[in-house]
Structure 1
Amino acid sequence: MQLCNENIESIYVMPGLLKFEHDCLTILSRSLLSVAPEEGCALLLGTQKPANNDQKTPAWHIQKIWPCLNAWHPGLMNNSGEEENEVVNHPKKLSKKNRFALDPKDQLEAQRWARKNHLQVLGVAHSHPQGRAKPSATDLCWGMSPGLMVIVSNTEGIKAWWQYGRGPEQHHEVLLVSDE
């Protein structure tokens, strides 16, 4: 995943487990749903733990939620320099109610804070206040691949996804646990 021209993950290996520590899951849910009916967004900060004898798959530990401003606006370009209207067919009016974009200032602040505190930006979270906790076609088209995407839904709770391409079937659900 790349934000602000900096590689976030050191290794692009899908986590077998995503563990939210402390009260991170509660903070994530409340902060993202508090801006409903608009989509909320946040960065997920933490550490990667490689597979070992006790744990057969890599685990990513989310230790801090970094809420971000939804900076989406009409005419926004994706990572390929395309306007959203050119990429996805939109049956409904585009607004912050069905789109999000991380504020670049929030991204830079989160990256600096994470480095200073020996953490990494592991992924992005956003809400679907009126929809499912599953990546939409736009999420997959605009998301960073490979990368971690967590979606908070009013109806389905919180689900984590690993995106490994931009197509409709190029994502896998990641097991999510919490110590809350």
Structure 2
Amino acid sequence: MIELTRAAYDDIVYRAYGGGEAEICGVLAGTHGTDGDPSVVTRTYEAENVAETPQIRYLIDPEEQLELIERAEADGLDVVGFYHSHPTGPTHPSETDAARATWPEHSYVICALDGYPFVGSWRWRGDDDGFEQETVAVRSER
């Protein structure tokens, strides 16, 4: 399970709408859940999509990704995973998404905009099992 604060959820959805036909992307930070505990996303860090075909792919520049991870850690947060959009759906990872996943036991959140916006999440297992769908919960901030 992954929990997103209302602000983090809204950031992802609004950015996805603002991206138009291009996929948007970034880093998710908060508390990384292990041993059955949910991950909790309290902050998103926006990244530039540097893919050659941003309408159907996303790519975070490795240097920018490292900078965003260092910012999250400096803010006292764990990297929970990554997010991107699929402007024409669906919310499950594409074959390319699966092939490029490199963070075992981290979440990959996808916002689909084909109709009503929907946010799905998948945890990459780092083995032949690939991705496992996670329940997404949005919680009010306390």
TM-score under structure 1 length normalisation: 0.69
Give the number of the structure whose alpha-carbon radius of gyration is greater. Answer: 1
Contact 2:27 2:69 (C-alpha < 8 Å) held by counterparts: no
Matches within 5 A, 1:19-168: 19-50=3-34, 57-73=36-52, 95-146=53-104, 147-155=106-114, 157-165=118-126
Query: 2:60, 2:80 → 1: CA distance?
Result: 14
How far 1:148 sits from its partner (Å)? 1.5
SS at 1:66 equivalent: strand
Contact 1:45 1:62 (C-alpha < 8 Å) held by counterparts: yes
**Match among 171, 174, 180 for residue 131 of structure 2:** 171
Q: Which has the higher helix share?
A: 2
Aligned length: 137
Residues 1:69 and 1:166: Cα distance change in structure 2 (over 3 Å): farther
Runs of 5+ consecutive residues of structure 2 not aligned to the other structure: none
TM-score under structure 2 length normalisation: 0.86
Runs of 5+ consecutive residues of structure 1 not aligned to the other structure: 1-16, 52-56, 74-94
Aligned-residue RMSD, C-alpha: 1.9
Residues 1:49 and 1:166: Cα distance change in structure 2 (over 3 Å): closer
Query: 1:153, 1:22 → 2: CA distance?
Result: 17
> Among the aligned pairs, what percent are the same residue?
22
